[in-house]
Chains A and B, each alone.
Chain A
Amino acid sequence: MGAGSGGGPSISGPSLQANIARLQHKFTFSNQAGKFGVSGSGRARVIVSENPKATARQFFESLSIGSVKTKGAGWELGKFSDGSAVFFRPISKSGGPAVNIKVKGSKPIRYKVHFEQTGWLNQGDKK
């Protein structure tokens, strides 16, 4: 079930790839990197907003549509049938909320997105 006939990954059912495609115009997305957010000070990507907590929650909820969700102590996971996953920490040790994205398929990719207050990056740019 769910296997495409053309050799490529099937995204006919609910999938993280389909959700990402749908959200590229709603959240900051770099076509060059193929990732949400912009480069931060470390490995993680950064999305800035006036309300990082609410934005991160909306981002996770939108990306995890069609997944099987599980909650743990301080985290939530959305797992898709192809092994792709979205992992959400409303509060991470790095400071604010963070979302990990793991896309399986022909072009696997995994990265973390931190959500930060508007103005943080601009202040850094002025230095």
Chain B
Amino acid sequence: MKLKLNPNEIGLLTSLAGSTFRYVVGASLQHELTAAEIYLVTETDAISIRATTEEYKFDGEYEDFNRLGISKASKSKVQRVIEEGELLRKHNGERILAVFLLQDRINGYLDGNPNFSLESDCGIIFQLESGFIGVYQSDRNLPILEVSYSDTISLETSPRIESIFEDDINQKFDYFREVKKIG
């Protein structure tokens, strides 16, 4: 199963490199900086980073899987969200120096035999002049995103994403994570 951004979505993200960051906003960001849709606004553009879900079979049953989606956002939509949501201005006025994708690959094994695999673009990291802003899936099986701030970028400090995958006596999971610069 592959839950990856398409080339148009990657293009929208890479186009942000070099622009001046203003703020991120989301309808329920006051709840642990999480929301189903988060808007990143620069001096000239606004993009929507949204979580949605798709159903796929896992271990014989349909489960929901979080998929990232990127699109352009209109000023009027952003304005509506500002009125009801939480606006985060940290790094306002700084240039976006680079954009990174957080990519996870998960392999599941039932009694030692491969029975599941997932490749997922699960987060976007924006490098600004004095730090990083990450927008990550906070859960692999629910449409929730989380905003986080950090001074550095590393696999060790990248967020743990909650999920229904739990090792037990029969089922084991291997996790691989990569941070890839896209712009």
A111, closest chain B residue (CB): B164
Given contacts A70-B37, A72-B36, contact A79 B53 (CB under 8 A): no
Decide: B55 and A92 in contact? CB cutoff 8 A. yes
A93 to B63, CA, bound (A): 9
The answer, yes or no, to whether A83 is at the interface (CB within 8 Å) is: yes
Decide: B143 and A43 in contact? CB cutoff 8 A. no
A1 to B141, CA, bound (A): 28
Q: How many A-B residue pairs have CB under 8 A?
A: 65
Decide: A110 and B164 in contact? CB cutoff 8 A. yes
Q: How many residues of A contact B (CB 8 A)?
A: 24
The answer, yes or no, to whether A23 is at the interface (CB within 8 Å) is: no
Measured CB to CB, the closest approach of chain B to A5, in angstroms, equals 21
Given contacts A70-B27, A77-B144, A83-B34, contact A42 B164 (CB under 8 A): no
Decide: B142 and A85 in contact? CB cutoff 8 A. yes
Decide: B34 and A77 in contact? CB cutoff 8 A. no
Among A43, A81, A85, contact of B61 (Cβ-Cβ < 8 Å): A43
Decide: A85 and B64 in contact? CB cutoff 8 A. no
Among A68, A75, A100, A110, the one with the most B-chain Cβ atoms within 10 Å of its Cβ is A68
Decide: A70 and B62 in contact? CB cutoff 8 A. no
A81 to B142, CA, bound (A): 15
Decide: A89 and B144 in contact? CB cutoff 8 A. no
Measured CB to CB, the closest approach of chain B to A46, in angstroms, equals 12
The answer, yes or no, to whether A73 is at the interface (CB within 8 Å) is: yes
Decide: A68 and B31 in contact? CB cutoff 8 A. yes
Pairs A-B, 8 closest by C-beta atoms: A68-B28, A70-B36, A93-B62, A93-B55, A42-B61, A81-B31, A94-B62, A72-B52
